[in-house]
Chain A
Amino acid sequence: MTDGPTPVLAAELIRWSWVGRHLDDIRDNLVQHVELTGLALLFGLLLAFPLALAAVQWPRLYGPILGFTGVLFTIPSLALFILLIPFTGLQIQTALIGLTIYTLLILVRNIVEGLRGVDNDVREAAEAMGFTRARQLFQVELPLALPVIIAGVRIATVTTIGLVTVTALIGWGGLGQLFIEGFTLNFSTPIIIGIVLSALLAFTADLLLVGLQNRLTPWARSSGR
């Protein structure tokens, strides 16, 4: 019996001619990937902040919120996407809702930890100086919590970039489309390109966020994260 996949494929890992012919598609996939990631992070942040603030304001909420989000996180992403299909079809919402939920989980945790990590002395000083609650939050607590929050954004970003590929199974996928194409055609080239590009994308995003963190929190730089 013949062993392994058909001989044509075994001959080469990357057929560069294929890459050359498909630069347009690859670029489209990359753009879609970035868009999905960006939107998921945006909505994740928008939803995470209120939840985190609530958890900080009413500490009794924190346990349940953390527990609930923790459980959601263990649900296999594929299942979540499949379950959304009957409700939201193959529109971008299906992919975005699923992705946003996962970013949400990571971000809530980090925002809360960041805010809680602010020294009570600092908070009390601000209050003594007459800062309103809102001013305290935006001018004192958030800036101080920023390093931890951005660490959370870093994790969420990189995780989401990986998760976007799973949405290929429901018609989206960004670079994940290349995986499916390679799978059905028994062709390693698109798969390898997809893996390399999504890894590069994550690496770049991470670097940019570290740069952002350094610029936003110059005082934290010396303590070295």
Chain B
Amino acid sequence: MTVINEVFTWLTDPAQWSGPDGIPVRTLQHLYYSLLATAIAAAIALPIGVFIGHTGRGALFAVNLTNLGRAIPSLGIIILMFTLVGFGIVPVLVALIALAVPPIVTNSYIGIRSVDRDVREAAEGMGMRGRQVLWQVELPVAMPLIMAGIRTSAVQVVATATLAAFVGLGGLGRYLIDGLSQRDLAQVVGGAILVAVLSLLTELVLGRVQALVVSPGVAGRAADAAVRAKVEKAA
């Protein structure tokens, strides 16, 4: 198909890889919006999710937040913010943050909540007070789920940051919008491919980060728990 040819040509054209409109610049812009939004979202969402998990108050809210958060139309948010605030990065950030917060809250909550009672009691038995239990026991144990939440959010944010171009900013979404405007299908397809690749890379990279951040003890915990269960059954 000629479209595939055109797309290939577009992607491999050296002109595409240099200059202020080039793929590297646009990718960096895209990552900038995504990173900033995810970081701010995590800064907001983690304390909330952890607090709810640790104290148990507002559980229903935390559990359902992710599903309800999916209902927020990002396009609507960005358009609303643009209408209120005008041109700039704020509309994009608000929309992306709104998108990223729910999964992090829910996952952090579930993560903290799912810490084994025994572990918590053991910690308290060792003389740890509330906050120590939180920082030294609950958070490390909940890390896999917390990281999973951040990963989910990050990937969604990267895929949705294309909206920035809709309100005149940069990022890979520019290829979609400009391609549509210039009736250049190859550009639209090329842009879509780039975004998809970036999302997948984000997923992979954060997967690596997760493996690094989760303490080996916790990672091995699942195996230990299984062994313990078998031993208990036998006894």
Q: Do A and B come from one complex?
A: yes
Say yes or no: A74 contacts B73, CB within 8 Å. Answer: no
Contact of A195 among B80, B82, B84, B160 (CB under 8 A): B80
CB of B15 within 8 Å of the partner chain: no
Say yes or no: A165 contacts B76, CB within 8 Å. Answer: yes
The residues of B that contact A86 with a CB separation of less than 8 Å are 185
The residues of A that contact B180 with a CB separation of less than 8 Å are 82
A201 nearest in chain B by CB position: B71
Say yes or no: B79 contacts A76, CB within 8 Å. Answer: no
B77 nearest in chain A by CB position: A195
The residues of A that contact B75 with a CB separation of less than 8 Å are 165-166, 168, 176, 179
Of B73, B77, B192, chain A has the most CB atoms within 10 Å of the CB of B73
CB of B28 within 8 Å of the partner chain: no
Report the Cα distance A198→B160, complex, angstroms: 18
Report the Cα distance A154→B70, complex, angstroms: 11
B190 nearest in chain A by CB position: A79
* Number of interface residues, chain A, beta carbon within 8 A: 44
The residues of A that contact B79 with a CB separation of less than 8 Å are 179-180, 182-183, 191
The residues of B that contact A155 with a CB separation of less than 8 Å are 67, 70
- Within the complex, the shortest CB–CB distance from A30 to chain B, in Å, comes to 14
Say yes or no: A76 contacts B162, CB within 8 Å. Answer: yes
CB of B56 within 8 Å of the partner chain: no
Report the Cα distance A79→B198, complex, angstroms: 15
The residues of A that contact B188 with a CB separation of less than 8 Å are 79, 82-83
**Interface size grouping (class) on chain B:** 20 to 34
The residues of B that contact A76 with a CB separation of less than 8 Å are 159-160, 162, 173, 176, 192, 195-196
Report the Cα distance A171→B19, complex, angstroms: 34
CB of B134 within 8 Å of the partner chain: no
- Within the complex, the shortest CB–CB distance from A48 to chain B, in Å, comes to 18
Binary flags per residue of B34-65, CB closer than 8 Å to A gives 1, else 0: 00000000000000000000000000000000
- Within the complex, the shortest CB–CB distance from B165 to chain A, in Å, comes to 9
B197 nearest in chain A by CB position: A74
Say yes or no: B159 contacts A74, CB within 8 Å. Answer: yes
Say yes or no: B76 contacts A198, CB within 8 Å. Answer: yes
Say yes or no: B71 contacts A5, CB within 8 Å. Answer: no
The residues of A that contact B189 with a CB separation of less than 8 Å are 79, 83
The residues of A that contact B85 with a CB separation of less than 8 Å are 4
CB of B209 within 8 Å of the partner chain: no
Say yes or no: B71 contacts A199, CB within 8 Å. Answer: yes
The residues of B that contact A3 with a CB separation of less than 8 Å are 86
CB of B155 within 8 Å of the partner chain: yes
- Within the complex, the shortest CB–CB distance from B217 to chain A, in Å, comes to 28
Say yes or no: B73 contacts A194, CB within 8 Å. Answer: yes
CB of B83 within 8 Å of the partner chain: yes
Say yes or no: B83 contacts A191, CB within 8 Å. Answer: yes
Say yes or no: A9 contacts B76, CB within 8 Å. Answer: no
Say yes or no: B196 contacts A182, CB within 8 Å. Answer: no
Say yes or no: A5 contacts B176, CB within 8 Å. Answer: no
Say yes or no: B192 contacts A83, CB within 8 Å. Answer: yes
CB of B149 within 8 Å of the partner chain: no
Query: What residues make up the interface of B, taking CB atoms closer than 8 Å to A?
Result: 67-68, 70-77, 79-80, 82-86, 155, 159-160, 162, 173, 176, 179-180, 185, 188-189, 191-192, 195-196, 199-200
* Other 16 A-B pairs with CB < 8 A, given A10-B84, A165-B73: A5-B84, A71-B196, A74-B155, A75-B192, A76-B160, A76-B173, A78-B176, A80-B192, A165-B75, A165-B76, A179-B75, A182-B79, A182-B83, A191-B80, A192-B80, A195-B76
17 residue pairs from A and B, CB less than 8 Å apart: A4-B85, A71-B196, A76-B159, A76-B162, A79-B192, A86-B185, A161-B71, A165-B73, A165-B76, A176-B76, A179-B75, A182-B80, A183-B79, A194-B76, A195-B72, A199-B73, A202-B68
